[in-house]
Chain A
Amino acid sequence: MKKSILIADLATASSLGFAQTFPVTVDNCGEPLTFSAPPKRAVVHDLNMTEMAFALNLQDNMVGVTGITGWYKTGPEFKATLGKIPELAPKYPTLENLLSVNPDFFFAGWYYGMKPGGEVTPATLAQHRVKTLVLTESCIHLNKQRPAASMDLLYGDFTRLGTVFGKAAQATSMVAQWKSRLAKLPAPAVGGETRVFLYDSGEDKPFTAGKFAIPTAMIAAAGGRNIMADMDTSWGTTAWETVAARNPQFLVLLDYQDGNGVTKLLSFLKAHPAMKETDAVKQGSYVALRYSELTPGPANIEAIEKIAAALQNRSRQ
């Protein structure tokens, strides 16, 4: 709590026109992480975190990204923004991949580039004088006493990243813009929130987002309710039976951008004996979102607007 007040103070101080002073301390999965100066040689893992870094224009302080092309197709726009920053590893990096660019900072998360007990963890990197900022959504993998997902997963991480790089003011003003965009969204339809199911993948059992994953907060912000919000994990698998029994009215489908969009997911649902009877599948009401829209990152905001618009359309019909 103290730390967040510190961040807030800093943010206010900078927005009043004072330059941000170092050292700064940010919360890192419940542990304090202190920086005496902004990192100069940062490596960022995964598309969502890289987009946060880009939104803060951190390119000049970045020496590499990891875990992007091994999973997704990226557009030419992304490549242009990346500029000359190399991708050190297409999927999870090895310690050697990272150390080869002599970094002083790594922004990643548990199962977002790091595995507990693996060779790349905040502890192993600390031995090489690399500080690791951990994605807050992923703290749940090591500490089960976390609050349920809220949009603070994005706001908090974005502000922390900004603070670390001496751009707290920029980060806070961007978060304020995001909040005002979300405040403009229409109130949930009369008759309660729409029951929403997020379908990521899996045929024998569906892989979806639970209590601690950001889509639960996004769906709530858009005026819906994630029917799996009581699932005690961040991302995890559940059973088709459970999903069908809760009769979702709307689907969020993950578009893996493999060329055929979400048609595969949809045709599977239409053929599934239990799922084909749910309101969402019968009415065909869904929205398709990309990976970076469904993991903590700036793309969340537009994604929430997309979900909200689709929910509005649905209730008008």
Chain B
Amino acid sequence: MTGRAFPFAWLGGSLLVMLLALTSVTKGSSPVPLRDVLSAVAGPLAPRLGLRPVEVTVQRIVQELRLPRALLAAMVGAGLAMVGALLQTATRNDLADPFLFGLSSGASAGAVAVITTTGEWLGIWTLPLAALAGGLLSALAVLLMVNRSRNEGPEKLVLAGLATSFVFGALTHYLVFAGDQRAAHSVLFWSLGGLGLARWDNLALAMAGVGLLALYAARRRHALDGLLAGDETAQSLGLRPDRLRAEIFLVSAMATACFVSLTGVIGFVGLMVPHLVRPLCGALHTRLLAACAMAGAALLLASDIACRTLLSPQELPIGIVTAAVGALFVIALVLRTPPAP
């Protein structure tokens, strides 16, 4: 894509995201006609726009459940895709994804520990906070391991992540096994994800994650580009690759922990989206991350629409939808014939 076309493409992407967000608000596990949805979204302005006012029930469903849900989908989709792109740069590994580094297993271990032992002692905030703490703990473990093995390149980060993932995975399974067997149902939520916990008052957590990523990307975009050229070139540019990697990892971990604490583990978005947009916008980070955010938001909004309509009035865990799409994507990646030499 040429330089000038990018802003237009981004604008097109924004329109698509808005369209999907609107669709997402009109769909749900109970049917509400489009006209009523629009009226509920318009709120007190509805009569002025010529829309008839709707019942309190519809208003509550649209304003307090579906609107925050659509926003959460967009933010988490954007955030996970950005984390994926950052980690793929940091590790120079095509398969890097927000959940490769034990973050997901840390978060679910935190949530499951609370479910099986203490219960909801902080009310509706108990689970998100426990998941956040678990996620950060696992990130810390990875960082400590990586710190011990400085100057050994990105492979160590992947291995450290894998090890942490196993440790927390084992802990989760132990807690489920030792506790009440029916707690296994809750583990399913954390391992397959879902957007049902979206509320206006917890959106701030997702917003913090996205904000952190955007801020970091804006400040470090040139250094990130430098890292693409390889450690030696980066060093000759005055960058410190190991430190940069640790930074990226910390930012990614904190952002991912925010997302996981609200939605559970939604796989494949962070893996897939950077690969999808790179051919269109190139590998330089300003554009790459902007494009990732847009495409990630669109993907998660679309997946959430699918998971609520396929089995209505039941809801499919969203991780099933993204994993199915992601698997197809990886198969396509495998089967793609390499360009002729």
Contact = CB atoms under 8 A, between A and B. Distances in A.
Given A102-B56, A128-B60, A121 B124 contact: yes
B196 A94 contact: yes
Contact of A141 (B55, B60, B180): B180
B119 A89 contact: no
B126 interface: yes
The range of chain A's interface size is: 20 to 34
B57 interface: yes
B56 A121 contact: no
Interface stretch (A12-20, A182-190, A233-241, A301-309): A233-241
A207 B57 CA distance: 40
B182 A116 contact: no
B189 A124 contact: no
A102 B57 contact: yes
A234 B180 CA distance: 8
B182 A100 contact: no
Interface in B213-240: none
A118 B111 CA distance: 11
A116 B186 contact: yes
Given A117-B126, A233-B181, A97 B30 contact: yes
B36 to A, nearest CB: 12
Majority SS at the chain A contact face: loop
B57 A101 contact: yes
* Among A96, A111, A142, A237: residue with most chain B CB under 10 A: A96
A141 B199 CA distance: 25
* Among B28, B61, B111, B194: residue with most chain A CB under 10 A: B61
Interface string A12-46: 00000000000000000000000000000000000
B30 A100 contact: yes
B61 A117 contact: no
A314 to B, nearest CB: 30
A282 interface: no
A9 interface: no
Contacts of B181: 207, 233, 235-237
B313 A94 contact: yes
A143 to B, nearest CB: 6
The range of chain B's interface size is: 20 to 34
Contact of B196 (A90, A119, A141): A119
Contacts of B341: none
B29 A117 contact: no
A141 B64 CA distance: 28
Interface string A151-193: 0000000000000000000000000000000000000000000
A128 B199 CA distance: 12
Contact of A91 (B61, B114, B123, B314): B314
A201 to B, nearest CB: 11
A245 interface: no
B91 to A, nearest CB: 32
A128 B64 contact: yes
A117 B315 CA distance: 16
Contacts of A121: 120, 124
Given A102-B57, A117-B114, A89 B182 contact: no
A3 interface: no
A100 to B, nearest CB: 4
Interface string B188-199: 010000101101
A100 B315 CA distance: 15
A131 to B, nearest CB: 16
A41 B189 CA distance: 29
B146 interface: no
B145 interface: no
A6 interface: no
A123 B314 contact: no
Interface in B31-69: 55-57, 60-61, 64-66
Contacts of B197: 118-119
B271 interface: no
Contacts of B123: 123
A30 to B, nearest CB: 11
A271 interface: no
Given A88-B313, A236-B181, A115 B186 contact: yes
A101 B56 CA distance: 10
Given A89-B314, A127-B199, A111 B182 contact: yes
B180 A96 contact: no
B65 A99 contact: yes
B196 A97 contact: no
Contact of B115 (A100, A102, A117): A117
Interface in A91-140: 91, 94-97, 99-102, 111, 115-119, 121, 123-124, 127-128, 140
Interface of B: 28-30, 55-57, 60-61, 64-66, 111, 114-115, 119-120, 123-124, 126-127, 180-183, 185-186, 189, 194, 196-197, 199, 313-315
Q: Nearest 5 A-B pairs (CB), nearest first?
A: A119-B196, A117-B127, A142-B119, A100-B30, A102-B57
Interface of A: 70, 88-91, 94-97, 99-102, 111, 115-119, 121, 123-124, 127-128, 140-143, 207, 233-237
Given A91-B314, A94-B313, 18 more contacts: A88-B313, A89-B29, A90-B313, A94-B196, A96-B61, A99-B61, A100-B30, A102-B60, A111-B182, A116-B127, A117-B127, A117-B186, A118-B197, A119-B197, A121-B124, A124-B199, A235-B180, A237-B181
27 contacts: A70-B314, A94-B29, A94-B196, A94-B313, A95-B196, A96-B29, A96-B65, A99-B57, A99-B65, A100-B30, A100-B61, A115-B186, A116-B114, A116-B127, A116-B186, A117-B186, A118-B186, A118-B196, A121-B120, A123-B120, A123-B124, A127-B199, A141-B180, A143-B119, A233-B180, A234-B180, A235-B180
